[in-house]
């Protein structure tokens, strides 16, 4: 099956619209920090014939698929196997000093969700892996086997915002003493049995726990916390960044980083803002933009998206 059949890029037209002023410049360089199967990147390479792409992904399957998809663009494409907090090193390794556009499309990719054996989807029974980069790192099954009750509760609370975190942690500890929890189907069953009937009617009991495990396995929030400032530093003046987040923890982090970058550094009470205190960035959208009703109907994975964007106004003081 073609990558185009597996993946519909989220908010593609809006991303192009926001990044176009930066990518229409001569010799523009675009970084897709979350390349996935290359849907967004393919569109940008087609839309901007002079653009060079640096595509990053930690998932070797995604890099292989995107590499095949983007092969027609030849030496305009440089793909790098890295987590996106390695953005500065990836840009430098491509022989580039500053870039003109950066896109982050955060969260789990369509490829990872649709391939059952990756273990991301609670609706499909599979080994509990959840690693975005299967070449190394700890799996979800290993976390469930080794973390204590308190540690499990904390990650369910912090990364899943799960109100039943303590109950679920106790249930997992009890279940693993009988038999290792190696597959998503068994974990779903444990969570289901530990969930009051009234709560089950409000939504799938596994959703938040699976999200929390995925974030812990891939260290997504700590990686993003490092990646965003590095990305902002990599932008040339006039360069633009677009970030799409799919859950509230990521979106809050993006909001705060971009807001800080777009804030004046002038001391309180200063009657005139001096040039060195003016903001380095300006926000390009008010608040967070969401997908239209039409796009959500056409592409359900666009439903939770929150898009934020900014433009670099000046070099750091």
Domain locations in the chain as residue ranges? 3-111+220-312, 116-218
Q: Is 200 annotated as a binding residue?
A: no
Query: What are 148-177's pLDDT values in tens digits?
Result: 999 999 999 999 999 999 999 999 999 999
Q: Is 112 annotated as a binding residue?
A: yes
Does the pLDDT of residue 22 top 50, yes or no? yes
Q: Is 287 annotated as a binding residue?
A: no
Report the distance separating Cα 128 and Cα 118, nearest Å: 7
Q: Does domain 3-111+220-312 correspond to CATH entry 3.40.50.150?
A: yes
Q: Is 147 annotated as a binding residue?
A: no
Q: What's the rounded mean pLDDT across residues 280-286? A: 96
Query: What are 196-238's pLDDT values in tens digits?
Result: 887 777 677 788 999 999 999 999 999 999 999 999 999 999 9
Q: Tell me the pTM.
A: 0.89
pLDDT of residue 109: 61
Q: Is 38 annotated as a binding residue?
A: yes
pLDDT band at 41 (very low <50, low <70, confident <90, very high): very high
Q: Is 105 annotated as a binding residue?
A: yes
Taking the domain 116-218, which CATH number applies? 1.10.150.170
3-111+220-312 and 116-218: same fold?
no
pLDDT of residue 1: 39
């Amino acid at each position: 099956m073609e990558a185009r059949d597996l993946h519909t890029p989220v908010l593609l037209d809006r991303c192009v619209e926001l990044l176009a002023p930066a990518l229409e410049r001569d010799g523009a360089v675009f970084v897709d920090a979350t390349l996935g199967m290359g849907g967004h990147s393919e569109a940008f390479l087609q839309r901007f014939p002079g653009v060079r792409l640096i595509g990053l992904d930690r998932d070797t399957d995604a890099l292989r698929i995107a590499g095949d998809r983007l092969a027609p663009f030849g030496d305009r494409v440089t793909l790098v196997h890295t987590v996106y907090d390695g953005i500065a090193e990836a840009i430098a390794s491509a022989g580039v000093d500053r870039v003109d556009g950066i896109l982050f499309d955060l969260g789990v990719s369509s490829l990872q969700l649709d391939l059952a054996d990756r273990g991301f989807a609670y609706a499909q029974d599979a080994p509990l892996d959840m690693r975005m980069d299967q070449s190394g790192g700890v799996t979800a099954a290993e976390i469930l086997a080794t973390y204590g009750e308190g540690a499990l509760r904390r990650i369910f609370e912090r990364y899943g915002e799960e109100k039943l975190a303590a109950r679920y942690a106790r249930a997992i500890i009890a279940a693993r003493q009988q038999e290792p929890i190696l597959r998503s189907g068994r974990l779903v069953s444990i969570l289901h049995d530990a969930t009051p009937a009234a709560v089950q009617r409000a939504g799938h009991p596994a959703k938040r726990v699976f999200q929390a495990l995925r974030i812990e396995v891939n260290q997504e929030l700590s990686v993003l916390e490092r990646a965003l400032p590095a990305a902002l530093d990599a932008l040339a003046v006039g360069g633009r960044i677009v970030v799409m987040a799919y859950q509230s923890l990521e979106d809050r982090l993006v909001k705060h980083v971009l807001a800080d970058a777009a804030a004046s550094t002038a001391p309180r009470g200063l009657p005139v803002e001096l040039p060195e205190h003016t903001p380095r960035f300006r926000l390009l959208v008010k608040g967070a933009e969401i997908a239209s009703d039409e796009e959500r109907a056409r592409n359900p994975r666009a439903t939770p998206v929150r898009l934020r964007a900014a433009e670099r106004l000046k070099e750091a003081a």
